[in-house]
């Protein structure tokens, strides 16, 4: 008997060990559990292979164990909240039916999935003949009723506002109150909600609250609801499933001093001396009245939005061609029931092609992306956008208008059809209206045209380049000529100086002829005129008034060479003498006078000053 007890303790110890997470792979824990370690022949046991942290895990194909009939019963999934932490799990349940007596070993369990390996320790099972009275019921299981603990664990449901307008969102709260009890495997609450639409529960909040002087741990579930039709409704009752963890009453089985040690809390905890007791908690139901929206002053474009909203509109691009899309992005945000917010109203859609808007919604806003295609160049703006809603807090309808939004619409670009017919890439299915043309190169040139020498261009043709010098040169000549002409007109001194040598040459020629013909009178007369004209022009003096005395005065002041002055004096004297006795002068004398006159002129031509 004592041996049996020790064996039972060992089995309990082993089972307790198995309760601990046997193996970890990533965040997923795998554990195996048999509902008892000792069974009689024919008794059906329950084997659970549980994966904590995931629900995506297929059942394990169980190897055959001689003497045991193992069948797969199915999976059980669970989402639980422990200390505010939401976790999910899946448990694959198998039935184990012993076919013969003896000691059996189940496991160790190894399971591979998605490249990860999960392991759990083996489980021992002892099968005995006959019936096991003590094992017919789980050891130490307690009989617990909801009524016994209704003041220590209960469920309360509330709505923020139990008189709401149609489509008005209101918050529904379901609270689980727990006082000094171990509750685990808490599932999301369920409740009857006829006439209401219910959103998803938010992440539960956990806090403590004092009710009637008693401190409770509270887990609060919140969801948004709104009435879909008017009338009086009852929400709930809400129900919530969870497990109550109760301590096993083992002191009856292990009396005595040795057993007292094992009966201590510490040892109970270590061995996993608790058992789950399923609870199905229910709350009271609550009445809610859903009122219709007033017809008075209802805007024409009201589509059922209820809340307190604002809208933001963005238009882009703002410069398009006819036929190009313009996207109008309307963001409705604020407090209220976004589910009933429809696309705000466009004041006009004339001149646009309009598609169904794309809608995106999150907790705080709803975005409508409306594509509008301008069909005319004359369009200058995206029309104004109106949005109206019922504001329950203010108790009235409100309207918001945004826009119009200026845009610039240009002529469409008409792409030129290719006029080149393909010879290499024929199209398979050219349509009659929209002929598909291929591309190829245009044919060669038939005529050669004029050839030029390779690398010869006008820019490197020296003749062509030098030719351009002619034009500035011609211009300079013209400029010079014109300037000189103007100076001759405007400056008589310059004109006389310029004409002096020419006149002198003419007179010298004439004098030479008279000398040759032996006519001293005309010769000396010509020489005299020559000197008068030349010196008059040269020094800008009246020609008729030129005498030796005048010449002396002027030329001396200009620093004329004394020899030249002497020559001039001689010439003037000879001319005077010849006028009065021309026959006295011979040809040699005339030539001598002529050479002197030439020398004088040459001198003055060389010495311009």
For residues 80 and 69, the answer to whether their CB atoms sit within 8 Å is no
Which region, judged by CB under 8 A, interacts with other proteins, from 117-125, 271-279, 364-372, 442-450?
A: 442-450
Among 1, 210, 266, 441, interactor with other proteins by CB under 8 A = 441
DSSP, collapsed to helix, strand or coil, labels residue 518 as: coil
Q: Which is nearer to other proteins, 399 or 482 (CB)?
A: 482
CA 65-66-70 angle, to 5 degrees, is 45
436 sits near other proteins (criterion: CB under 8 A):
no
Q: Which range in 88-96, 241-249, 323-331, 433-441 contacts other proteins by CB under 8 A? A: 433-441
Name the residue nearer to other proteins (CB basis): 208 or 425.
Answer: 425
Residue among 394 and 444 whose Cβ is closer to other proteins = 444
CB nearer other proteins, residue 2 or residue 453: 453
Give 477 or 584: the residue with its C-beta nearer to other proteins: 477
Residue closer to other proteins, measured from CB, 471 or 580:
471
Q: CB of 490: closest distance to other proteins in angstroms?
A: 16
Reading the block at residue 542, the tokens are 């009246």
Q: Cite the beta strand spans of 248-364 per DSSP E.
A: 274-282, 286-291, 307-316, 319-321, 326-336, 345-346, 352-354, 358-361
State the sign of the Cα–Cα–Cα–Cα dihedral 485, 487, 492, 496.
negative
Residue placing its CB nearer to other proteins in the complex, 76 or 479: 479
Q: Does the footprint of other proteins cover residue 490 (CB under 8 A)?
A: no
The reply to whether 482 sits near other proteins by the rule CB under 8 A is yes
> With 0-12 CB in 10 A as exposed, 13-18 as middle and 19+ as buried, what is 2?
exposed
Sign of the C-alpha dihedral, residues 375, 381, 382, 388? negative
Binding residue for other proteins (CB under 8 A) from 2, 394, 443, 549? 443
Shortest Å, Cβ 78 to other proteins:
60
Least separation, in Å, of the C-beta of 411 and other proteins? 23
Question: Binders of other proteins among 400-429, rule CB under 8 A?
Answer: 420
Of the pair 129, 487, the CB lying nearest other proteins is at 487
- Six token digits for residue 194: 């006829």
Least separation in angstroms between residue 399's CB and other proteins is: 49
For the beta sheet containing 345-346, the strands, ordered from the edge strand earlier in sequence to the opposite edge, are 345-346, 385-391, 396-402
- Answer yes or no whether residue 469 interacts with other proteins by CB under 8 A: no
- 471 touching other proteins, by CB under 8 A: yes
Rounded Cα distance, 5 and 465, in Å: 125
Nearer to other proteins, 468 or 608 (CB): 468
Sign of the torsion angle spanned by Cα atoms 407, 410, 412, 413 = negative
What phi and psi values does residue 146 have, to the nearest 5 degrees? -60, -35
Q: Does 478 bind other proteins (CB under 8 A)?
A: yes
Segment near other proteins (CB under 8 A), from 115-123, 240-248, 474-482, 547-555?
A: 474-482
Smallest separation (angstroms) from other proteins to the CB of 460: 9
Cα 107 to Cα 39, 111, 123, 441, 475: the distances in Å are 18, 11, 6, 78, 117
CB of 434 to other proteins, least distance (A): 21
Contacts of 309 (CB under 8 A, 6+ apart): 332, 333, 334, 335, 336, 341, 387, 389, 400
Q: How big is the chain by its Cα radius of gyration, in Å?
A: 64
Q: Rounded to 5 degrees, what are φ and ψ at 108?
A: -65, 150
393 or 473: whose CB is closer to other proteins? 473
Shortest Å, Cβ 577 to other proteins: 53
Residue 210 lies near other proteins (rule: CB under 8 A): no
Instruction: Quote the DSSP letter at residue 544.
Output: G
Residues 445-464 that bind other proteins (CB under 8 A): 445-455, 457-459, 464
Q: Give the residue, chosen from 76, 474, 509, 602, that forms a contact with other proteins under the rule CB under 8 A.
A: 474
Tokens of 350: 């004339």
In whole angstroms, the minimum distance from the beta carbon of 320 to other proteins comes to 25
Smallest distance from other proteins to CB 497, Å: 25
Total of residues contacting other proteins (CB under 8 A)? 30
| Cα–Cα distance for residue pair 164/306, rounded to 1 Å | 11
Task: Report the residue number, 210 or 447, with the smaller CB distance to other proteins.
Answer: 447
The sign of the CA dihedral 149, 150, 152, 157 is: positive
Task: Specify the DSSP class assigned to residue 412.
Answer: P
User: Phi/psi at 112 (nearest 5 deg)?
Assistant: -115, 135
Q: Which two tokens stand for residue 8?
A: 């039972």
Provide, rounded to whole angstroms, the least separation between the CB of residue 443 and other proteins: 8
Residues that bind other proteins (CB under 8 A): 420, 439-455, 457-459, 464, 468, 471-472, 474-475, 478-479, 482
């Amino acid at each position: 008997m004592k041996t049996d007890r020790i064996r039972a303790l060992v089995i309990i110890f082993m089972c307790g060990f198995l309760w601990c997470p046997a193996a970890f792979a990533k965040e997923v824990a795998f554990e195996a559990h048999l509902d008892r370690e000792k069974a009689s022949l024919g008794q059906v046991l329950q084997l659970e292979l549980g994966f904590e942290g995931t629900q995506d895990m297929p059942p394990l194909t169980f190897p055959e164990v001689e003497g045991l009939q193992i069948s797969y019963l199915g999976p059980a999934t669970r989402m639980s909240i422990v200390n505010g932490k939401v976790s999910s799990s899946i448990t694959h349940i198998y039935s184990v039916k012993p076919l013969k007596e003896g000691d059996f070993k189940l496991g160790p369990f190894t399971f591979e999935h998605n490249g990860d390996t999960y392991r759990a320790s083996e489980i021992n099972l002892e099968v005995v003949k006959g019936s096991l009275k003590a094992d017919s019921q789980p050891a130490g299981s307690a009989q617990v009723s909801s009524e016994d603990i209704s003041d220590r664990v209960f469920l309360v449901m509330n709505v923020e506002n139990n008189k709401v307008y149609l489509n008005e969102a209101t918050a529904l709260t379901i609270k689980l109150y727990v006082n000094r009890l171990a509750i685990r495997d808490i599932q999301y609450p369920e409740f009857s909600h006829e006439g209401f639409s219910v959103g998803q529960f938010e992440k539960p909040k956990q806090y403590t609250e004092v009710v009637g002087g008693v401190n409770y741990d509270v887990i609060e579930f919140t969801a948004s609801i709104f009435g879909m039709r008017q009338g009086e409704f009852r929400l709930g009752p809400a129900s919530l499933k969870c497990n109550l963890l109760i301590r096993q009453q083992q002191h009856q089985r292990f009396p005595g001093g040795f057993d007292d040690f094992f009966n201590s809390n510490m040892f109970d905890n270590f061995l996993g001396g608790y058992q789950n007791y399923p609870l199905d908690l229910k709350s009271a139901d609550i009445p809610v009245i859903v009122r219709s929206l007033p017809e008075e002053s209802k805007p024409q474009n009201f589509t059922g939005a209820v809340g307190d909203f604002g809208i933001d509109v963005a238009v882009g691009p703002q410069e398009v061609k006819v036929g190009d899309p313009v996207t109008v992005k309307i963001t409705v945000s604020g407090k209220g029931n976004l589910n009933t917010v429809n696309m705000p109203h466009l004041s006009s859609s004339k001149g646009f092609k309009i598609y169904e808007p794309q809608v995106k919604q999150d907790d705080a806003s709803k975005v409508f992306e409306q594509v509008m295609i301008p069909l005319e160049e004359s369009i200058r703006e995206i029309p104004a956008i109106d949005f109206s809603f019922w504001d329950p807090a203010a108790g009235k309808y409100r309207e918001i208008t945004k826009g119009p939004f200026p845009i610039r619409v240009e002529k469409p670009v008409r792409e030129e059809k290719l006029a080149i017919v393909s010879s290499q890439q024929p199209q398979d299915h050219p349509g009659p209206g929209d002929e598909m043309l291929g591309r190829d190169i245009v044919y060669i040139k038939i005529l050669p045209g004029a050839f030029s020498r390779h690398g010869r261009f006008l820019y490197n043709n020296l003749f062509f380049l030098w030719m351009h010098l002619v034009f500035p040169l011609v211009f300079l000549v013209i400029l010079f000529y014109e300037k000189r002409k103007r100076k001759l007109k405007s400056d008589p001194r310059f004109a006389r100086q310029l004409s002096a040598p020419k006149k002198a040459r003419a007179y010298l020629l004439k004098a030479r002829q008279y000398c040759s013909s032996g006519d001293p009178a005309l010769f000396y007369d010509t020489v005299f005129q020559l000197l008068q004209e030349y010196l008059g022009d040269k020094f800008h003096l009246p020609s008729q008034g030129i005498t030796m005395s005048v010449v002396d005065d002027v030329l001396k002041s200009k620093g004329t060479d004394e020899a030249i002055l002497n020559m001039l004096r001689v010439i003037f004297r000879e001319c005077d003498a010849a006028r009065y006795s021309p026959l006295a002068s011979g040809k040699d004398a005339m030539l001598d006078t002529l050479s002197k006159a030439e020398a004088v002129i040459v001198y003055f031509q060389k010495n311009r000053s």
